[in-house]
Structure formats: C-alpha cells, structure tokens
Structure 1
C-alpha cells in the first residue's frame, strides 16, 4: 500500500467515526437586581477561543455531574446543575497527538452560587461574566450561539412569569 493510499484510507476512517462525547456546563448567575442573566465564558488553554467548561465522560458519574465537576475544575464555580440537557453542539477538537476529531457536547445549565478562590486550572484561562448576547458574539460554534439564545429566551420568559405573579390584579 502506497503512502498516499494509506493516508486516504486513514482519512476515510477518521470521517466515519462517530463524534466523541463531551459534557459541558452553561454557567449562569443573575445580576444583583435580578433582572438580567450573566453567563460564564472562559478561554480554551490551547487556542484561546471563548468556550464553556466541558470535559470527557467519567466512570461512575452522570453526564450532568461531569458538567458540574468540569465547571469547578476549569472555572472555580459551583452551584445547582440541571439534570436535563439544554441541548448540544458540535466542534472539531485537536487532540494532543495532532489528530482532529469531531466532538458532540451535551450542555447542562448550572446556576452558580459559589466562586472558589483556588481551583485546579486557576490562572490557565481568562474567565469573564458576560450577557448572553455578548457570549453569542464571542463563541465560534453556531450551535453554541443558538444554545445561548435559547437559554436567554427561557430566562426572560421565567422572569416575565415571575413579575406577572407579583403584580396584583385589579
């Protein structure tokens, strides 16, 4: 088999593989007045692009538990994680050996209640709290942008419903 045909064969195998699974946390908090949501973005360690905390499956842990653990290890945040997924997005990941693989990421909402001073990856990334609209401008993955917009609509609907309950009927 020539080198060129071997490379072609390897490429075909790579594209036929199912995407690798990861789990992520869309970390959020309400601003002080409780009328606007902020989401956490951080930079990836390798490319510096804006991402959310995510990681590989872990033995003995549910997907949402993995998402919560990654949020703590990568961004130093803890809170209440939802057990139902918000949705998913895909992105191409370059592994340490240089191989590029497709990853599908299931995303779980995590309402942040605690910010740690020290955590595993402190100082390795830039972490910022931004609006959902700003998050959409910063992330590269279109499906992740859609998740931020969907999440913003959900929060806005929840806030409107809460306000409607507080207004007495005349």
Structure 2
C-alpha cells in the first residue's frame, strides 16, 4: 500500500505505521543513516524577566503541518547557514518569532521522520535555545500550524519524543558567551 499525504493525515497521533516499517527493515536504525536536523527551543519570560529570583518562562510549541502533533520548530540543514542560524530561520518560518540565539546546542533528541514519499528515516535534532524578543502575526507558514506558549512541563506533556520531553522538563535558559543576537 502506498503512503500519501492524505494517508498521513488519517494516521494523526499514531506512530505504529512508522514502527511497522522499521520492523520490516530494522537495518535502517543501524546503518548509520541518521539524518541531521536543527530545532529551536523558543522561550520567553512570563513575569519579571531573568533578573527576578524565580523567573517563570514559557516555551513555544507548534503543530506539524500534516498530523497536527505538537513539536518545536525544526528543519533540515541549510546551505551556507550554521546550525544555530538554521534553527533561527525555522523558528521564523514556522512560528514568526525572532530573538537571541545560543550558538551551542542545549540538547538533542532522536525521532522517526516520515518523508513525503512514505519512507521512514531516523533523525537526530540538535536543539538551539532562542530567547524570543519579537513575534509577527505574518510569517511563511501562518495558517498551516497552531502555535501555543506553555510552561515547560506542559510542553513536555504535549510532545511525543521522550528525549525532548526530558529536555523540556529540565530546561533552564543558559546565558553565556555562546549567545548571538539575531537581527531582523
């Protein structure tokens, strides 16, 4: 049976077709064929900002365009862009947010990506923190995704990937010389 985008939508919330495909071809997990992606862990301070004794933060989660499951903005490497720059571009295109990007990843997670042709590939996502300073209502994928600002615990409840859940629950913004101001 061929997979189509329409078929992918009908499987919303179910990973069993992905697992079934991997069970039929387990060598995919062990062939060194992991694909690289870059993700943006976008956050903002809820009240008082980072100078308060107990700053509260909100994390941005977005839905995927096909199945509607919750994720963080992420995408493939981009020619002539450093990983943290690619993550910032994904945050802008998928959610209309810009801010201060940390050059070093704050973590990583793995997941199974279903490609447009129905094939399944394992991916590693390096995650870059972005302290959001501006949000626009008009951006490339407006209307294709749902965006929500939630607590790190709520974000962890919404996403499916276990490593990402753990990173979100434990997330504390890092402020050091690895920061880079993203203009625009």
- Band the TM-score falls in, shorter-chain normalisation: 0.7 to 0.9
2:131 to 111, 134, 139: 111
Matched, 1:25 2:37: no
* Cα-Cα RMSD: 1.9
Q: CA deviation at 1:64?
A: 0.2
Matched, 1:60 2:80: yes
Question: Which segments of 5 or more consecutive residues in structure 1 lack a partner in the other structure?
Answer: 1-9, 159-170
**Alpha-carbon separation, structure 1, partners of 2:40 and 2:115:** 21
2:58 to 38, 41, 54: 38
TM-score when scaled to structure 2?
0.75
**Alpha-carbon separation, structure 2, partners of 1:110 and 1:18:** 29
Aligned length: 147
Q: CA deviation at 1:149?
A: 2.1
Give the 4+ runs in structure 1 shifted more than 2 A. 10-15, 32-35
Matched, 1:11 2:25: yes
Q: CA deviation at 1:46?
A: 1.2
Matched, 1:122 2:181: no
**Alpha-carbon separation, structure 2, partners of 1:124 and 1:88:** 25
Partner SS state of residue 90, structure 2: helix
Question: Which segments of 5 or more consecutive residues in structure 2 lack a partner in the other structure?
Answer: 1-23, 50-54, 176-184
Cα deviation code 1:10-59 (max 9, x no counterpart): 93553324210000000000013332100000100111110000000011
**Alpha-carbon separation, structure 2, partners of 1:14 and 1:109:** 30
The within-5 A match list for 1:95-106 is 95-106=115-126
**Alpha-carbon separation, structure 2, partners of 1:106 and 1:14:** 20
Larger helix share, 1 or 2: 1
